[in-house]
Amino acid sequence: MAERRKFLALDLGAESGRGLVGLFDGEKLQLEEVHRFPNGPVRLLDSLHWDVLRLWEEVKQALRLAVRKYGPDFAGIGVDTWGVDFGLLGRGHVLLGNPYHYRDKRTDGMLEEAFRRVPREEIFACTGIQFMQLNTLYQLLAMEVEHSPLLEVAETLLMMPDLFHFWLSGQRVSEFSIATTTQFYDPRGGMRETVRGEWARQLLERMGLPTDLLPEVVPSGTVLGDLRPSVAEEVGLGAVPVVAPAAHDTGSAVAAVPAEGENWAYISSGTWSLMGVEVTEPIINEAALTFNFTNEGGMGGTIRFLKNIMGLWLVQESRRTWARAGEEHSYSELTQMAAEAEPFLALVEPDHTSFLPMGDMPARIRAFCQQTGQPAPKTKGAIVRCALESLALKYRWVLEKLEAVLGRRLEVIHIVGGGSQNTLLSQFTADATKRPVVTGPVEATAIGNVMIQALARGEVGSHAEAREVIRRSFDLLTYEPRQPEAWDAAYERFLRVMEQAETFA
């Protein structure tokens, strides 16, 4: 048996974080979780922040536990996180405050303020990124509008995974995939190695925002350097290379999609659903602007042409609401309740602005249904089923728009990530879209993280070869579409609901 190379993927999501060891023997990859920890926002006065110092301690604990079980001879360590959030470093590379959470209300009204300074069409033409008030651009603009003193003393802006890579390696750079989530990166420029484009400095200047904070952008798979000696000593490691994977978690997840050919779409499913295709050039045109699609960086300088959909957030926040009331349920219990509930009782637009903040999600879903003239779901099962059916129908809408922009049919949908474990949603997706749905791997983000590290260290020869390794290594499930007439009728209702939703906040 060939010697197995060991890689550590540190995958930090909006709800939880994980440390996973990837064992690769040249043919197959085995993944084992060594540490899991909760994550979420911390409210301080009227603001939401990330508890970044606790997360850093959890990262080091993952390193300690990996060493304890597998020894110190790792071939690489890499971090991926959610997008858009950042930390600011001041003189001496000190962190200036706790990074804000993207659901913080400080970005309320910032889209309108941005369009007052630079027209919406020009922002999209420059960046190709969809408009969401949580984007880094509007977070930074909020700081400028509020005259934040941090902007006066900040020297470097690092996106969240870049911040952890800096603490691990000492390198202050931004990895390509995470840089593109900011909405101040221009992907239209030429290729430098496997980095496409450059920071949109002129856009920031027109917005009245600083540009001297922006670090060098490096490709996915860049070896940043060895682990800092102080960290290595603390956790029991040696001079292990720190490798920037696709540091945006969706970038790593898409890198792990076990697809072949070209006519496929992906859904990276979790708190958010990121649905799109992998292309070689950014698609920045009127149709993409109209449908509010986005162009984010991917492995090898590719572009992830996709749309952010609210995803399982509606179910997650409903579950938290019930738990706060003393009614604890596992996700599997809630899914079973949904399976037994009445089909198509009511539908919602998952991306309606009322669903974005934290809070009483069941009450918001009921209120939305009442405002659109539908019966309000009363039971937990009815609420979860409403969310899942609506999500599957939104996938159909996005699929139709993808095909319209691309001018071709997408034959199969791959669902990866934690949401792929929701068998009811996977079947609903096949039913709604009338496409076969292939689910797995569940830990796609960590798998993509590991395989990009393996590629960077010369253990695999190409991205295509890495995807072949993934197909050999992990079980996949296929769902075939059913009940086309019922889902067609539901889709017509859903389109009407989407139209109604545009008329109220």
Strands 185-192 and 173-175: unpaired
Whole-Å CA distances, 27 to 9, 32, 74, 466, 469: 19, 17, 18, 10, 6
| 182 and 105 belong to one structural domain | yes
Last residue of a domain, one of 248, 276, 294: 248
Residue type, 502: E
Per-residue model confidence (pLDDT) at position 53 = 97
Predicted local distance difference test score (pLDDT) of residue 192? 76
Based on the fold, state whether residues 346 and 447 are members of the same structural domain. no
Q: Are residues 221 and 345 in the same domain?
A: no
Distance of alpha carbon 490 from alpha carbon 483, whole angstroms: 11
Q: How many residues does the chain have?
A: 505
In the set 162, 249, 351, 431, the catalytic residue is 249
pLDDT of residue 1: 47
| 230 shares its domain with 343 | no
CATH number at residue 362: 3.30.420.40
| Residue 296 sits in the same domain as residue 437 | yes
Same domain, 301 and 398: yes
Per-residue pLDDT of the chain (505 residues; tens, 9 = 90+): 468 999 999 999 988 999 999 999 999 999 999 999 999 999 999 999 999 999 999 999 999 999 999 999 999 999 999 999 999 999 999 999 999 999 999 999 999 999 999 999 999 999 999 999 999 999 999 999 999 999 999 999 999 999 999 999 999 999 999 999 999 999 997 777 778 899 999 999 999 999 999 999 999 999 999 999 999 999 999 999 999 999 999 999 999 999 988 899 999 999 999 999 999 999 999 999 999 999 999 999 999 999 999 999 999 999 999 999 999 999 999 999 999 999 999 999 999 999 999 999 999 999 999 999 999 999 999 999 999 999 999 999 999 999 999 999 999 999 999 999 999 999 999 999 999 999 999 999 999 999 999 999 999 999 999 999 999 999 999 999 999 999 999 999 999 999 999 998 7
C-alpha 171/C-alpha 169 separation (Å) is 6
Give the pLDDT score at 195.
85
Cα separation, 148 vs 164, whole angstroms: 24
Residues facing 16 on adjacent strands: 38
Instruction: State how many domains the chain has.
Output: 3
Global pTM value: 0.92
pLDDT digit string (tens) for 364-390? Answer: 999 999 999 999 999 999 999 999 999
Residue 96's domain comprises: 5-248
**The pLDDT value given to residue 501:** 96
- Distance set, CA 7 to CA 2, 76, 185, 300, 446 (Å): 16, 5, 30, 20, 10
Residues 437 and 407 in one domain: yes
Characterize 166-201 residue by residue with b for buried, 16 or more Cβ atoms within 10 angstroms of its Cβ, and e for exposed.
Answer: bbbbbbbbbbbbbbbbbbbbbbbeeeeebbbbbbbe
* 324, 406: one domain: no
Is 249 annotated as catalytic? yes
User: Using CA atoms, how far apart are residues 449 and 281, in angstroms rounded to an integer?
Assistant: 23
Do 230 and 370 lie in a common domain? no
Do 232 and 254 share a domain, yes or no? no
**For residue 450, how many other CB atoms are within 10 A of its CB?**
35
User: Within this chain, do residues 347 and 407 fall inside the same structural domain, yes or no?
Assistant: no
Pairing of strands 173-175, 216-218: parallel
Q: How far apart are CA 305 and CA 189, in angstroms?
A: 16
Q: Are residues 47 and 118 in the same domain?
A: yes
DSSP 279-312: ESS---SHHHHHTT-EEEE-GGG-EEEEEEE-TT
Residues in Cβ contact with 20 at an 8 Å cutoff, skipping those fewer than 6 apart: 8, 9, 11, 31, 32, 33, 34, 443, 446, 450
Q: What's the pLDDT at 197?
A: 94
* pLDDT at 480 (0 to 100): 98
| pLDDT score of 3 | 82
